[in-house]
Structure 1
Amino acid sequence: AMLAGFSPDPRVNLSAGFRDAGEAALNLQLVASLPKPAGFFDPDNPSGLPNRPEPEETLSPEREDEQVSDDQELSADDASSALAETTAEEEEEDENADPRPSLLRFSNTDLLFSGNFLVAGNYHGFNTYDITNPRAPALLSSVVCPGGQGDVSLVGNLLIMSVQEARGRLDCGLQGVAEPTSQERIRGIRIFDVSDFRMPVQVGAVQTCRGSHTHTVVSNPDEQNNIFVYV
């Protein structure tokens, strides 16, 4: 409250929220807002908040004294055995633990506009919209194709998308790639035929050395039939 009195910035004291957060804008007006389509958020954690670690148990001073007394009574052999059991349990927990989720796994990244169409790139693929009526944009298609970043460009009827993560698969599968090297992995750029934005079709993929975080499309007047992509 005191900070709001010192600053005229309308962003001060905005309410927090997932789909109902407070808003402030300057020379802009929000005319439409759509939630992420199915497949582009975790149903068990739609807001994408990081997992909170379980609080560790703390002992009262009395119990700490009891624990110290018990520990002092352990023989060297008992201590070694207890340490080995603890290490084995920790290793088993690590093996059974869920993989650490990436906070960017479902993040939107880039926007591409072409006429009355909008393509929204995402770490998990991309979505296409009809924005003929800006106040009522309509979702045309969702392509779930994990791989990271998802920077998008359009050349004619071809949509080019950057892929940077080792989990990217040529078949757009969700299972990732466990092996260090695999013919099923793609890190580079994907190419989709979007002559019908309602039915995008992957028609090609180009592997690069370390994948593609973003890219730039350039042209050469002397080579009209070639597409040049810098990654």
Structure 2
Amino acid sequence: MNMNRVFLKLSGEALAGPKKAGFDEATVKEVARQVKLAVDAGIQVGVVIGGGNFWRGRTSEAIDRTKADQIGMLATVMNCIYVSELFRSAGMTTQILTPFDCGSMTKLFSKDRANKYFEKGMVVFFAGGTGHPYFSTDTGIALRAIEMDADCILLAKAIDGVYDSDPKLNPAAKKYDTISIQEVISKQLAVVDLTASIMCMEHRMPMAVFSLNEPDGIANAMQGRINGTIVTA
């Protein structure tokens, strides 16, 4: 698989490590070390991070869904600022783009601006989701990866690939080496949410699912060595 420009999706929960909330610095530093290996090899890297270590959906019936989603968008901005700084401490240059104005903390997203940063060898963080409620960070990364002509979306998860059923509940669950996005949708395997899945299918955007905890799993995936599941489009 050609890997000149890749988009990495990290969950907020993954950043929290064993603490389950906030940040686990050792976890993020390990991610940074691996991403730097890819950047040093000339690969352009975009990053999208969820906000689940701070906020997960509509947690109270007293909060309007739109406002709850806006809180989630801001959680992703906080995550990107933090992870961006640790990437910089590892020797990378970074920039954070958002679909809404955050003052001097981020830059407003445009395709031209993002391409300029990629061409400079910067790791580009796409924070704030799509900027609209009712859309997840899964949809956010699908949108930006398609818009920015990425070669692949890399999904670093707690599980090491796509299975035909939950391996925690079914010890005989089958892991796929390769599966089409059409099959993912028809079997409701929930690699990403349905909106993101359909976008990837329509725009032929492949994905790769692998374990965040695999040694050098991110670095290997960014160089086309997928020890997980390739989701073809």
TM-score (norm 1): 0.23
Question: Which protein is richer in helix relative to its size?
Answer: 2
Work out which of the two has the higher radius of gyration on C-alpha atoms and give 1 or 2. Answer: 1
Q: How high is the TM-score relative to the length of structure 2?
A: 0.23
Task: Return the structure number with greater relative CO, CA threshold 8 A, min gap 6.
Answer: 2
